[in-house]
Every structure is written in C-alpha cells, then in structure tokens.
Amino acid sequence: MLPLIALFIAAFAFGTTEFVIAGVLPQVAGGLGVSIPTAGYLVSGYACGIAVGGPLLALATKTISRKTLLIGLAIAFTIGQAACALAPDFTSMLLLRIAVAVAHGAYFGVAMVVAVGLVPEDKRGMAVAVILSGLTVSNVIGVPAGTAIGNLWGWRATFWVIGALGVAAIAAMLALLPRTAGSSNSPASLSHEVRVLGRQQVWTSLILMLMLMIGQFGLFTYITPTLLEVTGLDESLVPWVLLLNGVGATIGVFLGGKLADWKLMPSLITMLLLQALVLGVINAVSPYPVPMVVAIVIWGGLNFAIGAPIQTRILAWTADASNLASSLIPSGFNVGIALAASLGAAMLNAGYGYRSLPVAGALAMLVAVAVAVASQVWEGRSRVAPPLPAAAE
C-alpha cells in the first residue's frame, strides 16, 4: 500500500496543476492580458502536451528504471511550476504548460502499469482507482485551495504552492517506491506495442475516453464563469462548489474501481447513460444555485467513476504490451480535454453561451453509450480472453 501512496501523492500534484487553471482562469486571463476564451487554450495546450508528448516520452524511456523515471518526471514537474509562476506573457505560459504536460502524460502511463503490478489481479480496478484518486483529491483539496490562493494573493502564488507539492511528491517516491517497481513488465517490441492497439477493446475504450472528456471538460473548463454569470454565485463561493465537485469525484472514483472489479461493462454502460441525463439536468437548472450545485456534485462523481473501468479495461487488454497503450490512457483522456476546451471556446465565441456546454456533453455521452454497447456485443461474440502479461508468457 505504501508504494501506491507515493504514486497517489505525485498524481495529486499533477492533477492540481492541470485542473486548478479552471479555478483561476479569469485571473490568469487578466494577468496575461488575454480574454477568458483565449486563456482556455491553456487547458487545450496542456492536454495536447499530454496527448502527443506523453506517449513519445514513454516510448523513448521504456528501458529506464521505472522508479528513476517517475522521480525524474516529478523533478521536471516541480521546475515547471516555478517557471509558470514567473511566466511573463501568455505565449511563454502556454509553452511551459505544454512542457509540464509531457511529463504528466508519461507519468500517468508508467504509474498505472506500476500500480496494477503491485496488486493481485482481482484488485486492479482499485489500484487504478487509487492513482485516479490523486486526481479527484486534487479537485477536493488542490483546486479549491489553489483557487482561494489565487483569489487572495494572485494566480502566480498558486503555481508556487503547486511547486511545493512537487517537492513532496519527489520525497514520497524516493522513500516509498520500491527500486524494483515495474520491473516485472518486460518491454515489448514497438511492432507488438502498436499491434495491441488494434484490439477492439482498446480502441473503443479510447473513444469512450474522448466522449467522457467532452462531457466533463466542455463545461469544467468554463465552470467558474458559468457559476458567476449564469448561476449568479458570488466569487467567494466558487471554491466551495469546486470542493463539493471534488468530493463527489473522490467518492465516484472508488465506486468506479469497485464496479470495475465486479461487472465492468454493464456498470460502465449504465454510468455513461446516467451522465447524459445529469448533463441535461445541469443545462436545465443552471440558473438556480442549489439544484445547480447538487447536479455538479453528481456530475463530478460520475466523471471519475466512469474513468476507472475504462482504464482498467485498457490495462487488462494490453497486459502483454503495456508501455505504449498505458501512455495512451492519459493521452486519450487529454485529446478529449483539448477537444472539449476548444469546442467550448468555439461555442462561446459563436455566441451560444455557457448553458450550451452541458448540452454538447450530453450528446457526447449518448455517443459513448452506443460505442460501449457495440463493443460489449462484439466482445461477447468473439469469446477471446484478455492476454497474459509479457513476463508471464
């Protein structure tokens, strides 16, 4: 359990810097002299760095000791936070965020494989949930705290504090992560790494990731201005709403891990359908503070409950060539984040307004339901079992 705690702390640090930008988006926009929709591209740029740079870095470093690599990525993260705090303009901030995101993408790909290798097969869903909980707890603690710090002392102070989290993550991995972590996962050839991506369980799961992120980040990227302008909340209440959203996400991620270890696909399909309904409710109740906050908590829980079985499924079906596929887990999520933030910016610039964002998310969830049902039927007809890990063959 202690090694999983070390991986969790680093995941918390990475998650905080990725998500806190939504909480301080108006301040960052004002400080760098750009509009709020333009500042939203800091989310898209970060996501693109994870999506493109993460897999490339993972492939380039697959022969390096997993512990050494994970600590090196945490060091790069920490330096990046200090640089973001000092960024003089929007362009430099965007480039620095992209650089940090490359380390983020590689970290989560490696950490997921290491985590599932530390537990029995029937606990893989919960191991994934522990890593994912680093992201959800970052929503519970990191994002609201970072938002409050930004409101009190400015957004640059937010990034200095996140840099301190990076130092804590480095210390935790040095102390708690075994030197042999991940050593049981033998590197497969590049051709085999690529071939496993052709398994329908893998590429359909990546599609589900894209749809899930459109359902989440189309709205979450602009959650602060939505709550201020549509719901009419006072600015001082926004961190508390983000806190409640993170509480829902933390409960959801462990529920999702349990369901992934129980009945993965039926649970996943049911949750995707529920999320489509919740996003429709958000559109309807967004002008009303109390129902809007309740809906946001449920929405946050479902977002992360859905993520656990998707990732567990990919790891199970790529166990014989996990390096590239595992790095595509954060990549797939963040391609969706980039699309969602960019789609949101385009919709806002076209004059559709903040209430249109959950509608787009609901449509994406319905597409995900159709893909998941088709994938389950296909798998049932093929009757092919998941592969064994490469080292066990």
Per-residue model confidence as pLDDT tens for the chain (393 residues): 788 899 999 999 999 998 888 888 889 999 998 888 888 888 878 888 888 888 888 888 878 888 889 999 999 999 999 999 999 999 999 999 999 999 998 898 889 888 887 887 778 888 888 888 888 888 788 888 898 999 999 999 999 999 999 999 999 999 888 877 666 555 667 777 788 888 898 899 989 988 998 998 889 888 889 999 999 998 889 888 988 888 898 899 989 988 988 888 999 999 999 999 999 999 999 999 999 999 999 999 999 899 889 988 888 888 777 777 777 888 777 778 778 888 888 999 998 989 999 999 999 999 999 999 999 999 888 878 777 765 543
Count of Cβ atoms closer than 10 Å to residue 262 Cβ: 12
Give CA 365 to chain center in angstroms: 17
Question: pLDDT value at position 295?
Answer: 95
Q: How many helices (H) and strands (E) does the chain have?
A: 18, 0
Residue 255's pLDDT is: 92
Phi, psi of 353 (to 5 degrees): 90, 165
The pLDDT, as a whole number, for residue 340 is 87
For residues 243 and 229, the answer to whether their CB atoms sit within 8 Å is no
Residue 182 pLDDT: 64
3-class secondary structure, 230? coil
Helix H or strand E segment including 199: none
Burial group, residue 228, by CB count within 10 angstroms (0-12, 13-18, 19+): middle
Triad 223, 258, 340: Cα angle to 5° = 25
Q: Is the dihedral of CA 305, 306, 308, 309 positive or negative?
A: positive
| C-beta of residue 208 within 8 angstroms of C-beta of residue 371 | yes
The pLDDT of residue 291 is: 95
Whose CA is closest to 279, among 306, 253, 255? 306
Beta-carbon neighbour count of residue 358 at 10 Å? 23
Q: Residue 393 has what pLDDT?
A: 39
Cα angle 339, 345, 351 (rounded to 5 degrees) comes to 135
